[in-house]
Amino acid sequence: MNSSKEKWLFWACFIALVATSFGFVVRAQIIGDWQAQFNLSETQKGELLGVGLWPFAISIVLFSLVIDKIGYGRAMIFAFLCHVGSAIITIFATGYWMLYLGTFVLALGNGTVEAVINPVVATMFPREKTKWLNILHAGWPGGMVLGGILALSLGSAHWGWKVGLVLIPAITYGILMFRREFPIHERVKAGISYKAMLQEVGTLGALIVVVLIVREIGRVFEWSLTAEILVAGALVLSYGLYAKSLGRPMFIFLLLIMMPLATTELGTDSWITDLMVPFLAGNAVWVLVYTAFIMMVLRFFAGPIVHRLSPLGLLATSSAVAIIGLIFLSKTTGIAIFLAATVYGFGKTFFWPTMLGVVAERFPRGGAMTLNTISGVGMLSVGIIGAAFLGNIQDKEIDQVLAMKDSALHSKVVMEEKTSVFGNYRPLNQAVVATLSSEEQATISNLGASAKKNALSTVAVFPAIMLVCYLGLIFYFRAKGGYKPVDLEVQSEGGPEVEKATTG
């Protein structure tokens, strides 16, 4: 780092990211308490886990559109208010929709944090973007480790005390960010216009983001399909008429890859604690903390690994390891779960920050917009599709298997049909399950355990898709002479956009 000011700014960004993961790990630990207190279905649990992710995209995309105008400092004030407000709303929740609102506000704050810290760090370290974005994003697993341990230390205390833990890093980054000077983004320095930034994402990129956001908002507020189409169409058309570009084909391809990537990492992280409960006697949060610790350590040492494998090589390798880890997790029990979790932890470690690094290196003309849109689509896809998908396949499997094995018990405990993005499903009535005999509860528990393990093996298809895509990109760039990051010369000096060979 070049100065003491830059050092403090980097660590302020780091702690802000820690705050975002505090809410994530605490929610993963207390989701079972919410289910018991508020009689939530598995799909409703998935929706609550999901709303902790998809609103992130609203704030990260919206702030990316205006961040260079309003300033990074004002954006961080909004993030701070969201973190504090979400804790208050959630602690005093009286039902599903207050939990949903509190988690929604938390996700807005999280998205705003990333809208700021990603372009700031990429600008601070223009020659080592992938390395420093990986180090920055060690704050995410670092927060899960610290937040998870603190939540565990509270033991059987009411879940509201655990929700309040997010105030610790939030207040810390609020103090560190106070009156901090932020750098000017390299796009702005180079004289790349606002319109040129939007053209990198293009109409197709906007279409992906807008459709995902409008689809979920439409579900929450019960919009008709026609209303969703009209709203999404108006927004995308407005963007397209102004940008007059479909977007960079490579960037659109990376947006599509981000969907299975986010589900592999965050979708599974959202569920892994709950998935492992039947096999670790209630201590499954340690799996999440353990894999987060692996991620934190490895991301701090990402520089040499990226140098040796190159960003795309690292992503392809990580995809292969994640496939093995997820299948291994789905087949093991007891202490062997930690060995499987180690493999999974190694696999998922570099996904998110390395994808950010690739986008920052290849599309600097897109400024904060391209860098944060890739994160936004990741959160949208896992929040709307991934997390709910994992819950939905469990509900459906339990419904079908129980109907075949014990129709009388099935008719007693299965609720009326509910709707989700994946169609109709029939969840268990948790209030009725609690009144069953010990034998009947054991039957339900065994079915649930089987469904949870099958969910892990199902999600392994996502890193398999990613592996094929990354290998294709590697061969594509090899045919072009190798992967090369794009550098922007200051336009006011008449310098052209140039590419320089990567050190990896």
Q: What is the pLDDT of residues 107-133, one digit of tens each?
A: 999 999 999 999 999 999 988 999 999
How far apart are alpha carbons 240 and 242 in whole angstroms? 5
DSSP string, 167-203: HHHHHHHHHHHTT---PPPHHHHTT--HHHHHHHHHH
Residues 6+ apart with CB under 8 A from 175: none
Q: State the pLDDT at residue 421.
A: 65
pLDDT at 500 over 50: no
pLDDT at 447 over 90: no
**Residue 74 domain-assigned?**
yes
Of 399, 394, 402, the C-alpha closest to 415 is 399
Q: State the pLDDT at residue 82.
A: 96
**Residue 404 domain-assigned?**
no
**Residue 366 domain-assigned?**
yes
**Residue 438 domain-assigned?**
no
How far apart are alpha carbons 446 and 443 in whole angstroms? 5
**Residue 369 domain-assigned?**
yes
CB 395 within 8 A of CB 42: yes
* Percent of residues, the chain, with pLDDT higher than 70: 92
Please give the DSSP secondary-structure letter assigned to residue 481.
T
pLDDT at 503 over 50: no
pTM: predicted TM-score of the whole model, two decimal places: 0.83
Structure tokens at 466: 């990613």
If one counts the domains in the chain, the total is: 1
Residue 176's domain comprises: 4-396+454-499
For the segment 467-498, what is each residue's pLDDT rounded down to a tens digit?
999 999 999 999 999 898 888 764 444 444 44
Torsion angle defined by CA atoms of residues 135, 59, 210 and 348, in that order, rounded to the nearest 10 degrees: 20
CB 26 within 8 A of CB 168: no
Residue with tokens 């069953």: 436
**Residue 425 domain-assigned?**
no
- Residue 9: CATH number of its domain: 1.20.1250.20
How far apart are alpha carbons 131 and 15 in whole angstroms? 18
Q: pLDDT category, 100, cuts 50, 70, 90?
A: very high
pLDDT at 43 over 80: no
For the segment 169-224, what is each residue's pLDDT rounded down to a tens digit?
999 999 998 878 888 888 888 889 999 999 999 999 999 999 988 987 887 778 99
Highest-pLDDT range among 177-186, 249-258, 427-436, 484-493: 249-258
Mean pLDDT over residues 322-349, rounded? 86
> Within 10 Å of residue 232's Cβ, how many Cβ atoms?
21
**Residue 416 domain-assigned?**
no
**Residue 309 domain-assigned?**
yes
Q: pLDDT category, 47, cuts 50, 70, 90?
A: confident
Chain Cα centroid distance, residue 133: 15
